[in-house]
C-alpha cells in the first residue's frame, strides 16, 4: 500500500455529523483510533433542526450517561444553555431529570471546536452517495469499506458508522409543496439507501416534523406566562464548567427576562395556549393537511404528534399548551414547542394568530414534515453493528429513533464498538439494568418498530437503579476502562462512591435521641417529633425528613457536599425498593447472559409456533433474555429455545473434542 493509500485508510469512518455522528467520532478518536468524520456541510455540525432543548424525562438520563462514559453532549449543553430546569421535582428521584434550552448557534460552534481539537480525528466536508466492501487484501485477507466522495476522492476504512439522520431519501412537505431534502436548506442523500439494499438490508420509511419559528418582535409577551430557569446551580455534566468556559451573551432586549437567578443569567421560556378558534381553523383545513390527505404515508412519532393530529385525536380538550422557546441569546427566532405541523403556510399563519400573544405574529420559518429512509433495527445487533454487513454500524434516526439525546446515546455506543471492532476486540453491550442506553438498544433490537422510537422512563423496569444522579457511579468505570475518561476523573467518582458508603455506615451507627435541642429544632421545621432513640439512618428514612433535617439536629456531616448529601438521602430512603430491584436483576441475570450462537438455525427447532419461528429468525436475538422480549415469542417458545440452544452448544463441544482427538 503506497503512502497516499495509507493516508486515506482509517480505522473508523463516521458519515454524518449530527448528534450521533459527533459522539461516535469523538469516542473512536478518544480511544486512540484513526477516525474520519464526513459531513455534507461543516457549518451545520451538531445542528438542532428541531427544538433547541436537551434533556427531559429519560432523555436527560441518557445525556448524563453519555457524559459518564466520556461523551460530549452534556459539556456542550452546559457551555451553551440559555436556561436549565430540574423537572418532576415533586415526584420520586427515578423520574427527576434536568432539561436545558440551548443557544442553537453556540451549541454547534462549541461542538465543532471540540471536534476540530480532538487528536486522531479528521473532519472533511464531502457528499457520500456510495459505499462498497473491497476484496480481501492479498497479504492480510482484510476487507475495507470503500467510500468515494462526489468529487472523486476515495477513502477506505476498517469500519463505518452511518449517522445520516433524516438525509436518506429525505422529502420535505409543507401543504401541497414537496421537495427533496434532508433538512430544510440541505440536500438529501439518495445513493446510500441503494447501497444498503445491495448489502441485503430492508429499507423502510418514517416521518417526523417541526413547528414554525416566529419573530420575537411580533409576540406580545405580556399575554404569556414566564417559565424561568433553576434558581440554584444545575448542570448536566458531572464535571461542572468554570464561568470562563460558558458561552453567555447579552440577551436580545425584546425578551422579558423576569426574575434572574444569582448563579447564572438565564433566558425564560413563555407558555401560551391554543383555544377553540385555533382548533376550528385546523379542523376546517384537514383536507389540506398532508397527514390526512394521503400526501404523507409514513408513520410519525406518537408521543410528539403534529398539532393537526393532536387536535383531531383529542377533540374533547378545549386547549393545549404551547411553549415559546427562544433559539438563542441574540436571535429573534422563537420555536413554538407543541405546534409541529405540515399545514400550508396560510393555515400556519392563521392558526397561530388565534392565540392572543401571537395575534400579530410573523413566521420566520415554516413548520414542515419530512419523510426519510431508515433501517429497521431487527437487522442490527445490540452493539449497533449490522447483522448483514460486518463492520458497518448504525446510530440515530437511521435506526428509527427520534431525539437528539437518543441519537447521542447510540452514537457513543456505535463509536465505541466500531473502535473495538477495528482492533479485533469484543463489543460493549450495556444491559437494561446498567443504563437507559441499554434499555433503548435492547428495545430497538427486540421490538417491531412501526413509528419513530422515543425513550421514556416507563420503558425502564429498573428505573430506580438508573437515576440521572448516579449515572457516573454506574458508567464511569466503563468509560475509564475504554480510555474515554481520565484517571483523575475516575478517582473522583470512586472517592464519591466511598464517601457515600462511609456516610451511610456512620449514620447507621450514630444515635438520634429525643433531647431538648432535637425536639425544638424539629418543631421549628414542622417535622415529625422524635420520641425514642433511633439510628440517624432510621431518622433520615422517616417521611418528610431530608439530609438537611439531619444536619439541623446536629447529626449531619458538614464536610459533605450537596451532591453527596442527595445520594445519601436517596440510598437511605429508597433502600428497600433499590434492594428489591437489585434482587430482580440478579434473578434474571442468568437468562440475560445466556447467549445464542450467531449461526443458530431457528427453522431446525421443532415445537416453535409459526409466529415465534418467524420472529426469532428475523430478529436473531443475541441472548435468551432478548428472545423473551420479542413480541410474538411466548414463555413456552423461550423454554423450547433454551433447550435447543443448550443442545446446539453441547453438539458443538462434542464436534470440537472429536476434531482435537
Mode of pairing for the β-strands spanning 35-39 and 9-15: parallel
Please report how many Cα atoms fall inside a 13 Å half-sphere around the Cα of residue 230, on the Cβ side.
18
Beta carbons within 8 Å of 158's beta carbon, 6+ residues apart: 9, 10, 11, 12, 142, 144, 145, 391, 421, 422
pTM: predicted TM-score of the whole model, two decimal places: 0.94
DSSP letters for 68-119 = HHT-SHHHHHHHHEEEEEEE-TTS-TTT-EEEEEE-HHHHHHHHHHHHHT-T
Task: Work out the end-to-end distance of the chain between its first and last CA atoms, rounded to an integer number of angstroms.
Answer: 42
Average pLDDT, the chain: 94
Given a contact cutoff of 8 angstroms between Cβ atoms, the answer to whether 174 and 344 are in contact is yes
Return the DSSP state at 595. Answer: B
Q: What CATH topology corresponds to 489-582?
A: Arc Repressor Mutant, subunit A (1.10.10)
Domain locations in the chain as residue ranges: 214-369, 489-582, 594-660
Handedness of CA 122, 126, 127, 128 (dihedral sign): negative
The rounded percent of the chain whose pLDDT value lies above 70 is: 98
Q: Identify the CA nearest to 236 among candidates 37, 60, 488, 355.
A: 60
Given a contact cutoff of 8 angstroms between Cβ atoms, the answer to whether 342 and 173 are in contact is yes
The alpha helices in 515-634, defined as continuous H runs, are 516-524, 536-541, 547-552, 562-573, 575-592, 610-619, 624-628
Q: What is the pLDDT of residue 184?
A: 76
Beta-carbon neighbour count of residue 152 at 10 Å? 6
Phi, psi of 116 (to 5 degrees): -65, -25
Q: What CATH topology corresponds to 214-369?
A: Elongation Factor Tu (Ef-tu); domain 3 (2.40.30)
Lowest-confidence segment of 337-351, 485-499, 640-654 by average pLDDT: 640-654
Q: Is the pLDDT of residue 141 over 90?
A: no
Convert the pLDDT of each residue in 52-79 to its tens digit. 999 999 999 999 999 999 999 999 999 9
Q: What CATH topology corresponds to 594-660?
A: DNA polymerase; domain 1 (1.10.150)
Q: Is the pLDDT of residue 646 over 80?
A: yes
Q: Average pLDDT of 356-373?
A: 97
Q: What is the pLDDT of residue 427?
A: 97
Amino acid at each position: 500500500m503506497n503512502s497516499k493509500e495509507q493516508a486515506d485508510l482509517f480505522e473508523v469512518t463516521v458519515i454524518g455529523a449530527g448528534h450521533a455522528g459527533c459522539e461516535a467520532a469523538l469516542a473512536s478518536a478518544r480511544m486512540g483510533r484513526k477516525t474520519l468524520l464526513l459531513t455534507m456541510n461543516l457549518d451545520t455540525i451538531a445542528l438542532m433542526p428541531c427544538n433547541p432543548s436537551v434533556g427531559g424525562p429519560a432523555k436527560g438520563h441518557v445525556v448524563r450517561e453519555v457524559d459518564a462514559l466520556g461523551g460530549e453532549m452534556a459539556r456542550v449543553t452546559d457551555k451553551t444553555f440559555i436556561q436549565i430546569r430540574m423537572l418532576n421535582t415533586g415526584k420520586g428521584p427515578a423520574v427527576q431529570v434536568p432539561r436545558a434550552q440551548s443557544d442553537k448557534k453556540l451549541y454547534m460552534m462549541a461542538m465543532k471546536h471540540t471536534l476540530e481539537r480532538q487528536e486522531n480525528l479528521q473532519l472533511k466536508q464531502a457528499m457520500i452517495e456510495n459505499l462498497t466492501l473491497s476484496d480481501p487484501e492479498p497479504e492480510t485477507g482484510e476487507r475495507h469499506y470503500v467510500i468515494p466522495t462526489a468529487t472523486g476522492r476515495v477513502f477506505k476504512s476498517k469500519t463505518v458508522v452511518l449517522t445520516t439522520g433524516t438525509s436518506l431519501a429525505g422529502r420535505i412537505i409543507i401543504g401541497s409543496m414537496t421537495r427533496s431534502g434532508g433538512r430544510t436548506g440541505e440536500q438529501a442523500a439518495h445513493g446510500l439507501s441503494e447501497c444498503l439494499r445491495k448489502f441485503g438490508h430492508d429499507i423502510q420509511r418514517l416521518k417526523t416534523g417541526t413547528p414554525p419559528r416566529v419573530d420575537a418582535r411580533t409576540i406580545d409577551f405580556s399575554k404569556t406566562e414566564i417559565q424561568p430557569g433553576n434558581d440554584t446551580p444545575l448542570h448536566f455534566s458531572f464535571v461542572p464548567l468554570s464561568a470562563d468556559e460558558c458561552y453567555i451573551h447579552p440577551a436580545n432586549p425584546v425578551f422579558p427576562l423576569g426574575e434572574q437567578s444569582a448563579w447564572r443569567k438565564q433566558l425564560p421560556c413563555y407558555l401560551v395556549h391554543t383555544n377553540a378558534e385555533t382548533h376550528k381553523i385546523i379542523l376546517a383545513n384537514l383536507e389540506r393537511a398532508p397527514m390526512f390527505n394521503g400526501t404523507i404515508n409514513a408513520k410519525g412519532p406518537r408521543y410528539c404528534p403534529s398539532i393537526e393530529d393532536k387536535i383531531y385525536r383529542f377533540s374533547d380538550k378545549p386547549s393545549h399548551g404551547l411553549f415559546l422557546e427562544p433559539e438563542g441569546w441574540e436571535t429573534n427566532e422563537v420555536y413554538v414547542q407543541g405546534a409541529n405541523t405540515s399545514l400550508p403556510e396560510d393555515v400556519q399563519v392563521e392558526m397561530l394568530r388565534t392565540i392572543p400573544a401571537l395575534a400579530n405574529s410573523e413566521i420566520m420559518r415554516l413548520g414542515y414534515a419530512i419523510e426519510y429512509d431508515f433501517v429497521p433495527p431487527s437487522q442490527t445487533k445490540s452493539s449497533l453493528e449490522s447483522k448483514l454487513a460486518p463492520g458497518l454500524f448504525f446510530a440515530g434516526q437511521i435506526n428509527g429513533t427520534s431525539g437528539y439525546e437518543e441519537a447521542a446515546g447510540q452514537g457513543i455506543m456505535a463509536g465505541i464498538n466500531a473502535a473495538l471492532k477495528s482492533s479485533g476486540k469484543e463489543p460493549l453491550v450495556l444491559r437494561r439494568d446498567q443504563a437507559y442506553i441499554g434499555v433503548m438498544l435492547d428495545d430497538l433490537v427486540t421490538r417491531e418498530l412501526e413509528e419513530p422510537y422515543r425513550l421514556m422512563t416507563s420503558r425502564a423496569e429498573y428505573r430506580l437503579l438508573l437515576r440521572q444522579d448516579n449515572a457516573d457511579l454506574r458508567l464511569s468505570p466503563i468509560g475509564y476502562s475504554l480510555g474515554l475518561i481520565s484517571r483523575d476523573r475516575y478517582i473522583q467518582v470512586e472517592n464519591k462512591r466511598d464517601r457515600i458508603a462511609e456516610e451511610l455506615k456512620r449514620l447507621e451507627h450514630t444515635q438520634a435521641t429525643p433531647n431538648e435541642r432535637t425536639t425544638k429544632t424539629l418543631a421549628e421545621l414542622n417535622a415529625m417529633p422524635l420520641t425514642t432513640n433511633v439510628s440517624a439512618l432510621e431518622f433520615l428514612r422517616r417521611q418528610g425528613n431530608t439530609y438537611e433535617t439531619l444536619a439541623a439536629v446536629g447529626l449531619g456531616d458538614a464536610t459533605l457536599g450537596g451532591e453527596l448529601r442527595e445520594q445519601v438521602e436517596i440510598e437511605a430512603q429508597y433502600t428497600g425498593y433499590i434492594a428489591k430491584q437489585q434482587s430482580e436483576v440478579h434473578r434474571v441475570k442468568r437468562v440475560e447472559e445466556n447467549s445464542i450462537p450467531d449461526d443458530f438455525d431457528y427453522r431446525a427447532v421443532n415445537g416453535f409456533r409459526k409466529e415465534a419461528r418467524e420472529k426469532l429468525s428475523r430478529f436473531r436475538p443475541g441472548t435468551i433474555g432478548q428472545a423473551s422480549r420479542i413480541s410474538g415469542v411466548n414463555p413456552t417458545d423461550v423454554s423450547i429455545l433454551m433447550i435447543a440452544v443448550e443442545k446446539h452448544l453441547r453438539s458443538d463441544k462434542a464436534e470440537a473434542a472429536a476434531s482435537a482427538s
